[in-house]
Amino acid sequence: MKNKNGMIGVVICSLIIVCGCSREQATGPARIPAVHVEAGKVFKKDMPVEISAIGAVEAFSSVTIMPQVSAQIQSIHFSEGQDIRKGQLIYRLNPANFQEELRQAQAKLSRDRAQWENDKVEAARYQFLVEKGAVSKSDYDKYRTTAATQGEIVQESRADVDKARLKLSYCDIRSPLAGRAGGYLVNQGAIVTENQTNLVVIHQMKPIYARFSVAEKYLPSIKSAMQKGPLPVFAGISGQEQNEITGKLAFIDNTVDAETGMIKMKAAFPNTDGSLWPGQFVNLRLRLSIQKDAVVAPAAAVQMSQDGPYVFVVKPDKTVLRTLVKVDRTAGNETILSGIDAGATVVTDGQLKLRDGFKVEYDAPAAKK
């Protein structure tokens, strides 16, 4: 009885195994599910050839205002940080001493001029007398010399008047340029010294410069591009790159730094809205030319390996093919490359989950304008 039950158990187990094998043969091996990725298109477009650099903004011109006479500051006619017009009165010094000097110089001139008139009359009278033989020629020469000497004294007195008037004019200190004033370096009531005391610093900010450096290897390309016209430069403030400001290359230094291999340059920007500020750091792009019909892929599609840069190309059957490419350069979020045709679809996110032949699914990439 026991042997009979044992045989029945063996038969049942065999049937279960056979059924299981039959079911596996019917369904085939388990499939790897499609990997969800993001994708983009490879396309042709005109791409700029540019050199990127970090620049520092500096004033187009800057002046430190000093007094040209020593006196007390009587009044200040601007506010700190104010926009200043060229020729605008900014400081007034106490003019009392210089007004008195001018009055004294004018009085001396009047006295010397009266004496000169008298000496000229005397010289003329003696000339008449010497012609009549009434006086000696030496007497006439003496009066003529006296009149000539007094004429020189009058000229000197006129110069003293002009000098006193000029010093008085220096009491009104005006801005030599249009720009933005800094903070007060001295306050009202202070005694300032001629050509020594700093009063205020004024920066001209419209237009404005951005100073930067590029490697000397780019110099031949820059010089060649400049022969076709001014080179545009684009400045972007960190966090506000979408509001780039356009200027042009204005200066190339005449020497390459032997220690760094860099050459200094400056770009000029109109800065009409005052968005650029002296001392500010900006991202700069110096444009040399435009490359026509470049093959461009999203920069995120390009990956690096021991064999070099590559992309995953999505084939029509939605499987991927790892394809080596040659990268020319990257501009923003786009890469100019070769080794792949325009129109191809490439994976831009999820590459780490992929191998050759893996099937993928993705939302259709947006068409480029």
Q: Are residues 330 and 274 in the same domain?
A: no
Domains of the chain: total? 4
d(CA 18, CA 38): 44
Q: What is the pLDDT of residue 23?
A: 47
Domain that holds residue 121: 96-169
**Which tens digits make up the pLDDT trace of 170-200?**
999 999 999 999 999 999 999 999 999 999 9
Q: What is the pLDDT of residue 140?
A: 78
Alpha helices in 28-71 (DSSP H): none
Residue 163 is given by DSSP the state H
d(CA 216, CA 260): 9
On whether the CB atoms of residues 51 and 214 are closer than 8 A, the answer is yes
**The two structure tokens encoding residue 200:** 């205020």
Q: What is the pLDDT of residue 25?
A: 47
In a domain, 20, yes or no: no
DSSP secondary structure of 180-227: EE---SS-TT-EE-TTT---EEEEEEEEEEEEEEEEGGGHHHHHHHHT
For the chain, the straight-line distance linking the first and the last C-alpha, in angstroms and rounded, comes to: 85
Q: What is the pLDDT of residue 24?
A: 44
Last residue within a domain, chosen from 257, 291, 325: 291
In a domain, 115, yes or no: yes
Q: Are residues 140 and 218 in the same domain?
A: no
On whether the CB atoms of residues 46 and 292 are closer than 8 A, the answer is yes
Radius of gyration of the chain (CA): 44
CATH number at residue 122: 1.10.287
Q: What angle do CA 327, 333, 336 make, to 5 degrees?
A: 25
Backbone angles phi, psi at 168, to 5 degrees: -65, -40
Q: What is the pLDDT of residue 133?
A: 77
Per-residue pLDDT of the chain (369 residues; tens, 9 = 90+): 444 444 444 444 454 444 444 444 444 445 678 899 999 999 999 999 999 999 999 999 999 999 999 999 999 999 999 999 999 999 999 999 999 999 999 999 999 999 999 988 988 887 878 777 777 788 778 888 988 999 999 999 999 999 999 999 999 999 999 999 999 999 999 999 999 999 999 999 999 999 999 999 999 999 999 999 999 999 998 877 678 899 999 999 999 999 999 999 999 999 999 999 999 999 999 999 999 999 999 999 999 999 999 999 999 999 999 999 999 988 878 999 999 999 999 999 999 999 999 999 988 765 555
In a domain, 13, yes or no: no
In a domain, 24, yes or no: no
The 3-class secondary structure across 71-117, one letter per residue, is EEEEEECCCCCCEECCCCEEEEECCHHHHHHHHHHHHHHHHHHHHHH
CATH number at residue 221: 2.40.30.170
CATH number at residue 193: 2.40.50.100
Q: Are residues 175 and 165 in the same domain?
A: no
Q: Are residues 211 and 278 in the same domain?
A: yes
Measure CA 232 to chain center.
12
Q: What is the pLDDT of residue 367?
A: 54
On whether the CB atoms of residues 43 and 296 are closer than 8 A, the answer is yes
In a domain, 22, yes or no: no
Last residue within a domain, chosen from 124, 153, 169: 169
Q: Are residues 287 and 208 in the same domain?
A: yes
Q: Are residues 183 and 84 in the same domain?
A: yes
d(CA 68, CA 192): 9
In a domain, 80, yes or no: yes
Q: Are residues 262 and 282 in the same domain?
A: yes
Q: Is 293 left (phi over 0), alpha (psi -120 to 50) or beta?
A: left
Q: What is the pLDDT of residue 16?
A: 45
**The two structure tokens encoding residue 68:** 């040209």
pTM of the model: 0.71
In a domain, 212, yes or no: yes
In a domain, 366, yes or no: no
Q: Are residues 320 and 254 in the same domain?
A: no
CATH number at residue 341: 2.40.420.20
d(CA 40, CA 367): 9
